[in-house]
């Protein structure tokens, strides 16, 4: 996807569709918020031209949502004061996810967050 704000909408739709297809649509609200934050971070903090959204199931009980870009700079959580309008994206990702992190690649990095899939009765 192009590294531009309009891509956040497409990324949210992709995550929502994947989670619904897997029968775990109850994670969609959190999943779309996470991908929106990760896309916005790539737009705001990298000079990339494109980003790739990845939605995978590394195990039956986990969904991983990632955004890949060509920048090798590592993501850092902000420490905004009460009046800051920015700097809370990764703090929100951390609060919403089971865990988050990044994987450096030869060509850039993938920033990801994982959600636990609720057990079915």
Q: Is residue 121 part of a domain?
A: no
- Asked, for residue 95, whether it belongs to a domain, the answer is yes
Q: Is 1 within the bounds of a domain?
A: no
**Dihedral angle sign, alpha carbons of residues 35, 12, 107, 99:** positive
Tell me: the pLDDT tens digits for 22-55? 999 999 999 999 999 999 889 888 888 899 999 9
Angle of CA points 70, 5, 8, to nearest 5°:
85
Q: 80 is in which domain, residue-wise?
A: 6-116
Q: pLDDT tens digits for 62-72?
A: 999 999 999 88
Task: Count up the domains in the chain and report the number.
Answer: 1
Determine, yes or no, domain membership for 15.
Answer: yes
54: domain CATH number is: 3.30.565.10
């Amino acid at each position: 996807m192009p590294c531009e704000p309009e891509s956040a909408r497409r990324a949210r739709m992709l995550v929502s569709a994947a989670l619904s297809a897997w029968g775990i649509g109850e994670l969609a609200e959190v999943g779309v918020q996470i991908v929106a934050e990760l896309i916005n971070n790539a737009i705001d903090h990298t000079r990339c031209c494109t980003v790739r959204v990845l939605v995978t199931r590394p195990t039956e009980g986990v969904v991983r949502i990632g955004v890949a870009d060509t920048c090798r700079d590592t993501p850092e959580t902000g420490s905004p004061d009460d009046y800051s309008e920015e700097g809370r994206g990764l703090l929100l990702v951390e609060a919403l996810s089971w865990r988050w992190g990044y994987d450096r690649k030869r060509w850039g990095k993938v920033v990801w967050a994982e959600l636990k899939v609720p057990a079915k009765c």
